[in-house]
Structure 1
Amino acid sequence: MVKTRLRGVIYAAQLAILLAISAQIIIPLPLIPFTAQTLAVGILATISDFKLSAWTIGGYLLLGLVGLPVFAGATAGIGVLVGPSGGYLWSFFLQAWIINKCRNVGGKQYLVFGNLLGALSQLLIGSVWLKFVSQLSWTAAFGAGTLPFLLPGLIKGVLASLIGQLLLNRLRAPLQMR
């Protein structure tokens, strides 16, 4: 029991580090930057159970909260978590839950759907947060926080499900936190 729990904690720590590294991978595009952070969330939720995903995301957010520069653009601190982009970070939990639920209900054939729905939910929650924190109109919040990210989100959702599927085939079963 202790051995399997320790294994889960080690998995969560390793995945949180990978999430932090992926947040630093930024491809500048004409309208918006393309970060690998949400792609990594999709992959980790695809290859692990929700408990492990939640521990990983929680650990990642905690690392940023205590000041380690793990968020996109090497940022950190409570200001990021409660600022305009905070909703996108907090919604990683919902994104992971949706991906896990779709995989558990429909199996591997629902991974693309789960990743796309998870990515969309992450964008929508982030935009609602952006609206209230930045005191924007609904139109402005969704115009700035969702619309420009739909195509990159679609690409990341498909990539996350494909990469996750390849990893699941190697793992034979999702990683678990017991």
Structure 2
Amino acid sequence: MGNTKLLKQLIIAAELAVGLAICSKITIPLGLIPLTGQTLAVGLIASIVPTVVGTWAIGIYLLLGLIGIPVFASSAAGLAALFGPTGGYLWGFFLYVWIVGAFYKYTKRTPALIFGNIFGAIIQLFAGTYWLVLSAKMTWTAAISTGVVPFLLPALIKVVLVVVVAQAILRRMPTKFNLRS
């Protein structure tokens, strides 16, 4: 990969990480795990750029939070946010991006975006739930009822929004700037 292409991808990843940070400020408190715009942004990132760029965007976002910049939901930051009860949801963003990328790699059609985002969102929720079991010492039943069930309908609504917006972006993006093509 040429240096110009690598630099372009890193700049786009940094811009997407900033967009993800902005979307994390959209928060609806629902107890231990808030409903946020983060997963909407992660779905968009996963749907409009190659997996490597999406992975870098998530990595930059997590690094910003790790060094203390309040980029996570509820303006959280630091080790406590990454390894506390909601940390598994944050780390699950990598899984979300990789899953959508795997679906999209084989076919660049709408069903791939839909199923990739549904599967990615569910796996990300279960990664967070697994982390709840470990970090908050919750039972699986309690963790699922706290960390999955309230978010299933919002996740499906976000998937619809992600697919519609991602398709609009990809249609309007000139081929030479479309990293997905």
TM-score (structure 1 length as normaliser):
0.93
- Tell me what 2:138 maps to: 136
Residue 175, structure 1, aligned to residue 176, structure 2: no
- Tell me what 1:165 maps to: 167
Write out the 4+ residue segments of structure 1 that deviate beyond 6 Å after TM superposition.
none
- Tell me what 1:120 maps to: 122
Residue 55, structure 1, aligned to residue 43, structure 2: no
1:148, distance to aligned residue in structure 2 (A): 0.6
1:121, distance to aligned residue in structure 2 (A): 0.6
Q: Write the letter of the residue equivalent to 2:99.
A: I
SS of 1:76's equivalent in the other structure is: coil
- Tell me what 1:102 maps to: 103
Could you list the runs of 5+ residues in structure 2 that have no partner in the other structure? none
- Tell me what 1:147 maps to: 149
SS of 1:73's equivalent in the other structure is: helix
Structure 2 CA distance for aligned equivalents of residues 154 and 39 of structure 1? 10
1:106, distance to aligned residue in structure 2 (A): 2.7
Residue 170 to residue 104, structure 1, CA distance change in 2 (3 Å)? same
Alpha-carbon deviations, 1:65-124, whole Å to 9, x = none?
000000001110010000000000001011011111111223222111111111011001
Structure 1 CA distance for aligned equivalents of residues 134 and 4 of structure 2? 44
- Alignment identity in percent? 47
- What is the root-mean-square deviation in Å for CA atoms of aligned residues? 1.8
Instruction: Figure out how many residues of one structure are paired with residues of the other and give that number.
Output: 176
1:4, distance to aligned residue in structure 2 (A): 1.4
Comparing 38-47 with 97-106, greater Cα deviation is found at 97-106
Q: Write the letter of the residue equivalent to 2:67.
A: V
Q: Write the letter of the residue equivalent to 1:83.
A: G
Structure 2 CA distance for aligned equivalents of residues 144 and 34 of structure 1? 12
Q: Write the letter of the residue equivalent to 1:157.
A: V
Alpha-carbon deviations, 1:120-172, whole Å to 9, x = none?
11001110110111111110011101011100111111111111111111125
- The answer as to whether partners of 1:28 and 1:34 remain within 8 angstroms in 2 is yes
Structure 2 CA distance for aligned equivalents of residues 82 and 111 of structure 1? 30
Q: Write the letter of the residue equivalent to 2:117.
A: N
- The answer as to whether partners of 1:27 and 1:33 remain within 8 angstroms in 2 is yes
Q: Write the letter of the residue equivalent to 2:83.
A: V
Residue 71, structure 1, aligned to residue 75, structure 2: no
- The answer as to whether partners of 1:42 and 1:95 remain within 8 angstroms in 2 is yes
SS of 1:116's equivalent in the other structure is: helix
SS of 1:91's equivalent in the other structure is: helix
Identify which of structures 1 and 2 has the higher relative contact order when contacts are C-alpha pairs closer than 8 Å and 6+ apart: 1
Q: Write the letter of the residue equivalent to 1:163.
A: V
